[in-house]
């Protein structure tokens, strides 16, 4: 756990952190969760990875089975977040929500307060971060520019949209904590 002071409003809640691939969701979500005395960093992608056989990953071409599995993953994530919050934890949910999938996910979370942080670094920053990380999110199927454009135009502009291009992960978390009231959606 971080040596930084805990957040002054340390009560059960759900904070959703999303953004394009390589936006910094994993790092920021972990650091943010460490700011609370009872916290969970819930990685929605873990529910995708537990599928041993029959998993169909998302692609820009659209696949009904991939969409069905994504909806299942989001439903499980929402229920798990609510269960942890009901047990007294602040839950930082990290996942990739694009377009209408964000609204559908948020409608499934019953915990209040519910906050949303969209990490929205510029395309150049995402390209740099993608080149520096071990896992590859983009490639033959996804263009960073196209994916960013889709995120910005098709995803509802609710909560706190944060351009973290010039920030370290710690600075991003500091800004989220300072502006958490702006991130609250219900």
Query: Could you report the per-residue pLDDT of 32-62, keeping only the tens digit for each?
Result: 999 999 999 999 899 999 999 999 988 777 7
Average pLDDT on 111-135 reads 91
pLDDT at 147: 80
pLDDT bucket at 75, cuts 50 / 70 / 90:
very high
Count CB neighbours of 32 within 10 A: 26
At 75, give phi and psi (nearest 5°).
Answer: -65, -45
Quick check: helix, strand or coil at residue 50?
A: coil
- Checking if the pLDDT of 9 tops 80, the result is no
DSSP class of residue 6 equals P
Average pLDDT, the chain: 91
Distance (Å, whole) CA 78 – CA 81: 5
Percent of the chain with pLDDT over 70: 91
pLDDT at 8: 46
Distance (Å, whole) CA 91 – CA 93: 6
pLDDT at 140: 63
At 72, give phi and psi (nearest 5°).
Answer: -60, -50
Count CB neighbours of 65 within 10 A: 10
Domain ranges of the chain: 13-183
Residues 6+ positions from 23 with CB-CB distance below 8 Å: 119, 120, 121, 126, 129, 164
pLDDT bucket at 133, cuts 50 / 70 / 90:
confident
pLDDT at 132: 87
- Checking if the pLDDT of 118 tops 80, the result is yes
13-183 CATH pick, 3.60.70.12, 3.30.413.10, 2.130.10.10, 3.40.50.300: 3.40.50.300
Task: Locate 138 and state its tokens.
Answer: 């983009």
pLDDT at 4: 57
Average pLDDT on 89-96 reads 97
Task: Locate 136 and state its tokens.
Answer: 């590859």
Q: Indicate the helix (H) or strand (E) that contains 174.
A: helix 169-178
Query: Omega into 150 within 30° of 0, i.e. cis?
Result: no
pLDDT bucket at 138, cuts 50 / 70 / 90:
low
**Higher local confidence (pLDDT), 57 or 26:** 26
- Checking if the pLDDT of 157 tops 60, the result is yes
Task: Locate 36 and state its tokens.
Answer: 């609370």
């Amino acid at each position: 756990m971080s040596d930084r002071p805990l957040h002054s409003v340390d009560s059960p809640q759900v904070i959703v952190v999303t953004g394009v691939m390589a936006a910094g969701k994993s790092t920021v979500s972990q650091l943010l969760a460490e700011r609370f005395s009872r916290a969970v960093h819930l990685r929605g992608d873990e529910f995708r990875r537990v599928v041993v056989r029959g998993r169909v990953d998302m692609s820009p071409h659209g696949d009904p089975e991939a969409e069905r599995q994504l909806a299942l993953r989001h439903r499980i994530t929402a229920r798990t977040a609510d269960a942890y919050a009901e047990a007294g934890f602040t839950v930082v949910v990290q996942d990739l929500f694009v377009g209408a999938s964000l609204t559908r996910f948020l409608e499934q979370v019953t915990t209040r307060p519910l906050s949303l942080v969209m990490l929205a670094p510029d395309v150049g920053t995402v390209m740099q971060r993608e080149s520096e990380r071990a896992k590859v999110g983009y490639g033959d199927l996804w263009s960073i520019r196209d994916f960013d454009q889709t995120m910005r135009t098709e995803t509802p502009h609710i909560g706190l949209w944060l351009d973290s291009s010039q920030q370290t992960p710690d600075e991003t978390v500091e800004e989220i904590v300072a502006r958490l009231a702006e991130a609250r959606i219900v």
